Protein backbone atom coordinates (compact mmCIF):
# COMPACT_ATOMS: atom_id res chain seq x y z
CA UNK A 1 0.00 0.00 0.00
CA UNK A 2 1.08 3.58 -0.59
CA UNK A 3 2.88 5.37 2.22
CA UNK A 4 0.53 8.36 1.94
CA UNK A 5 -3.25 8.20 1.73
CA UNK A 6 -5.20 11.29 0.68
CA UNK A 7 -8.98 11.38 0.92
CA UNK A 8 -11.72 13.53 -0.46
CA UNK A 9 -13.97 14.88 2.32
CA UNK A 10 -17.69 14.82 1.47
CA UNK A 11 -19.06 11.52 0.25
CA UNK A 12 -15.84 9.78 1.25
CA UNK A 13 -15.16 10.54 4.92
CA UNK A 14 -18.03 12.87 5.81
CA UNK A 15 -21.72 12.31 5.18
CA UNK A 16 -24.26 15.05 4.73
CA UNK A 17 -27.85 14.96 5.90
CA UNK A 18 -30.20 13.16 3.53
CA UNK A 19 -32.17 16.35 2.94
CA UNK A 20 -29.66 19.02 2.09
CA UNK A 21 -30.25 22.76 1.97
CA UNK A 22 -27.25 23.53 -0.31
CA UNK A 23 -27.14 27.29 0.36
CA UNK A 24 -24.57 27.89 -2.37
CA UNK A 25 -27.09 26.69 -4.96
CA UNK A 26 -29.12 29.83 -4.18
CA UNK A 27 -26.19 31.88 -5.49
CA UNK A 28 -24.65 29.58 -8.07
CA UNK A 29 -27.33 27.97 -10.20
CA UNK A 30 -26.51 25.31 -12.78
CA UNK A 31 -26.80 28.03 -15.42
CA UNK A 32 -24.23 30.26 -13.65
CA UNK A 33 -20.92 30.77 -15.36
CA UNK A 34 -18.23 28.16 -14.85
CA UNK A 35 -16.04 30.97 -13.50
CA UNK A 36 -18.51 31.79 -10.71
CA UNK A 37 -18.87 28.12 -9.76
CA UNK A 38 -15.07 27.85 -9.71
CA UNK A 39 -14.73 30.99 -7.55
CA UNK A 40 -17.00 29.55 -4.86
CA UNK A 41 -14.50 26.71 -4.49
CA UNK A 42 -11.28 28.69 -4.89
CA UNK A 43 -11.81 31.94 -2.98
CA UNK A 44 -11.21 31.94 0.75
CA UNK A 45 -14.24 34.04 1.65
CA UNK A 46 -17.58 33.28 3.35
CA UNK A 47 -20.85 33.00 1.48
CA UNK A 48 -21.80 36.51 2.63
CA UNK A 49 -19.14 37.99 0.33
CA UNK A 50 -20.54 36.18 -2.72
CA UNK A 51 -24.08 37.30 -1.81
CA UNK A 52 -22.92 40.92 -1.53
CA UNK A 53 -20.99 40.78 -4.80
CA UNK A 54 -24.04 39.37 -6.59
CA UNK A 55 -26.34 42.01 -5.10
CA UNK A 56 -28.17 39.43 -2.99
CA UNK A 57 -27.45 40.83 0.47
CA UNK A 58 -31.06 40.24 1.47
CA UNK A 59 -30.36 36.47 1.33
CA UNK A 60 -27.49 36.56 3.85
CA UNK A 61 -29.58 35.70 6.97
CA UNK A 62 -31.17 32.76 5.14
CA UNK A 63 -27.84 31.59 3.72
CA UNK A 64 -26.16 31.75 7.14
CA UNK A 65 -29.03 29.78 8.72
CA UNK A 66 -28.89 27.13 5.99
CA UNK A 67 -25.12 26.76 6.31
CA UNK A 68 -25.40 26.39 10.08
CA UNK A 69 -28.09 23.71 9.66
CA UNK A 70 -26.05 21.87 7.06
CA UNK A 71 -22.88 21.99 9.20
CA UNK A 72 -24.79 20.75 12.25
CA UNK A 73 -25.91 17.70 10.25
CA UNK A 74 -22.42 16.69 9.06
CA UNK A 75 -20.99 13.48 10.51
CA UNK A 76 -18.23 11.00 9.82
CA UNK A 77 -19.22 7.73 8.20
CA UNK A 78 -19.13 5.03 10.91
CA UNK A 79 -15.94 3.37 9.61
CA UNK A 80 -13.84 6.51 9.22
CA UNK A 81 -12.25 7.22 12.59
CA UNK A 82 -11.22 3.61 13.24
CA UNK A 83 -9.75 3.27 9.75
CA UNK A 84 -7.82 6.54 10.00
CA UNK A 85 -6.40 5.52 13.38
CA UNK A 86 -5.31 2.16 11.91
CA UNK A 87 -3.59 3.92 9.03
CA UNK A 88 -1.85 6.32 11.40
CA UNK A 89 -0.79 3.41 13.63
CA UNK A 90 0.68 1.66 10.61
CA UNK A 91 2.82 4.73 9.86
CA UNK A 92 0.91 6.18 6.92
CA UNK A 93 0.65 9.91 6.34
CA UNK A 94 -3.03 10.78 5.97
CA UNK A 95 -4.66 13.91 4.60
CA UNK A 96 -7.76 15.42 3.05
CA UNK A 97 -7.70 17.17 -0.31
CA UNK A 98 -11.13 18.54 -1.06
CA UNK A 99 -13.01 21.02 -3.20
CA UNK A 100 -14.53 22.98 -0.37
CA UNK A 101 -16.14 26.37 0.13
CA UNK A 102 -14.79 28.50 2.99
CA UNK A 103 -17.76 28.03 5.31
CA UNK A 104 -17.09 24.28 5.74
CA UNK A 105 -13.33 24.25 6.42
CA UNK A 106 -13.36 24.67 10.21
CA UNK A 107 -15.94 21.91 10.64
CA UNK A 108 -14.02 19.45 8.46
CA UNK A 109 -10.90 20.12 10.55
CA UNK A 110 -12.89 19.54 13.76
CA UNK A 111 -14.38 16.28 12.49
CA UNK A 112 -10.98 14.93 11.40
CA UNK A 113 -8.39 15.93 14.02
CA UNK A 114 -6.19 12.87 13.37
CA UNK A 115 -5.05 13.97 9.90
CA UNK A 116 -1.59 15.23 9.00
CA UNK A 117 -2.78 17.83 6.49
CA UNK A 118 -5.83 19.56 5.05
CA UNK A 119 -5.69 20.89 1.48
CA UNK A 120 -8.86 22.80 0.69
CA UNK A 121 -9.52 24.34 -2.70
CA UNK A 122 -10.71 27.63 -1.20
CA UNK A 123 -7.44 28.00 0.71
CA UNK A 124 -5.04 27.12 -2.11
CA UNK A 125 -6.89 28.72 -5.04
CA UNK A 126 -7.13 25.57 -7.15
CA UNK A 127 -9.85 22.94 -7.40
CA UNK A 128 -9.67 19.25 -8.25
CA UNK A 129 -8.93 18.02 -10.87
CA UNK A 130 -6.44 20.87 -11.43
CA UNK A 131 -2.93 19.44 -10.94
CA UNK A 132 -1.84 22.35 -8.72
CA UNK A 133 -4.04 21.17 -5.83
CA UNK A 134 -2.47 17.69 -5.96
CA UNK A 135 0.98 19.26 -6.14
CA UNK A 136 0.18 21.33 -3.06
CA UNK A 137 -0.88 18.20 -1.19
CA UNK A 138 2.34 16.39 -2.11
CA UNK A 139 4.48 19.37 -1.11
CA UNK A 140 2.80 19.67 2.29
CA UNK A 141 3.10 15.93 2.93
CA UNK A 142 6.65 15.81 1.54
CA UNK A 143 5.86 12.90 -0.74
CA UNK A 144 6.03 12.01 -4.41
CA UNK A 145 2.81 11.49 -6.38
CA UNK A 146 3.69 7.84 -7.00
CA UNK A 147 3.72 7.28 -3.22
CA UNK A 148 0.11 8.46 -2.83
CA UNK A 149 -3.19 6.60 -2.88
CA UNK A 150 -6.09 9.03 -3.43
CA UNK A 151 -9.58 7.89 -2.39
CA UNK A 152 -12.72 9.78 -3.27
CA UNK A 153 -16.20 9.55 -4.73
CA UNK A 154 -15.94 11.68 -7.88
CA UNK A 155 -14.64 10.05 -11.06
CA UNK A 156 -13.32 13.28 -12.57
CA UNK A 157 -11.99 15.03 -9.45
CA UNK A 158 -10.91 12.10 -7.27
CA UNK A 159 -9.94 9.44 -9.78
CA UNK A 160 -9.00 10.90 -13.16
CA UNK A 161 -7.33 14.01 -11.66
CA UNK A 162 -5.03 12.12 -9.26
CA UNK A 163 -4.19 9.49 -11.91
CA UNK A 164 -3.21 12.21 -14.41
CA UNK A 165 -0.96 13.70 -11.71
CA UNK A 166 0.81 10.36 -11.17
CA UNK A 167 -0.98 9.15 -8.05
CA UNK A 168 -2.78 5.86 -7.56
CA UNK A 169 -6.51 6.40 -7.13
CA UNK A 170 -9.58 4.48 -6.07
CA UNK A 171 -13.24 5.42 -6.03
CA UNK A 172 -15.52 4.71 -3.10
CA UNK A 173 -19.24 4.17 -3.59
CA UNK A 174 -20.86 4.69 -0.21
CA UNK A 175 -24.36 4.26 -1.67
CA UNK A 176 -23.39 0.75 -2.79
CA UNK A 177 -22.24 -0.09 0.75
CA UNK A 178 -18.52 0.32 0.22
CA UNK A 179 -16.41 1.45 3.16
CA UNK A 180 -12.78 2.47 3.51
CA UNK A 181 -11.62 -1.03 4.48
CA UNK A 182 -13.04 -2.47 1.24
CA UNK A 183 -11.39 0.21 -0.90
CA UNK A 184 -8.04 -0.01 0.92
CA UNK A 185 -8.03 -3.79 0.66
CA UNK A 186 -8.73 -3.58 -3.09
CA UNK A 187 -5.90 -1.06 -3.48
CA UNK A 188 -3.36 -3.53 -2.07
CA UNK A 189 -4.20 -6.27 -4.57
Please name which of 147, 81, 152 lies closest in space to residue 121, comparing C-alpha atoms: 152
C-alpha–C-alpha distance, residues 145 and 62, integer Å: 42
Distance CA(170)–CA(26), nearest Å, equals 32
Per the CB < 8 A criterion, the answer to whether 17 and 73 are in contact is: yes
Checking if the pLDDT of 30 tops 70, the result is: no
pLDDT tens for residues 86-123?
A: 999 999 999 999 999 999 999 999 999 999 999 999 99
Residue 83 backbone phi and psi in degrees, to 5: -65, -45
Mean pLDDT of the chain: 94
Q: Indicate the pLDDT class of residue 167, thresholds 50, 70 and 90.
A: very high
The predicted-structure confidence for 48-88, as pLDDT tens digits, reads as follows 999 999 999 999 999 999 999 999 999 999 999 999 999 99
Amino acid sequence: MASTIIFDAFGTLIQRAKKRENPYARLVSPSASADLRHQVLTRNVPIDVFAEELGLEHLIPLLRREIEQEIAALALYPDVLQTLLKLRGAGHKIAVCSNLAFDYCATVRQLLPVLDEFVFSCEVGYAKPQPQIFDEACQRLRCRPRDVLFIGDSKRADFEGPLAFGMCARLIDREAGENLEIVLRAATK
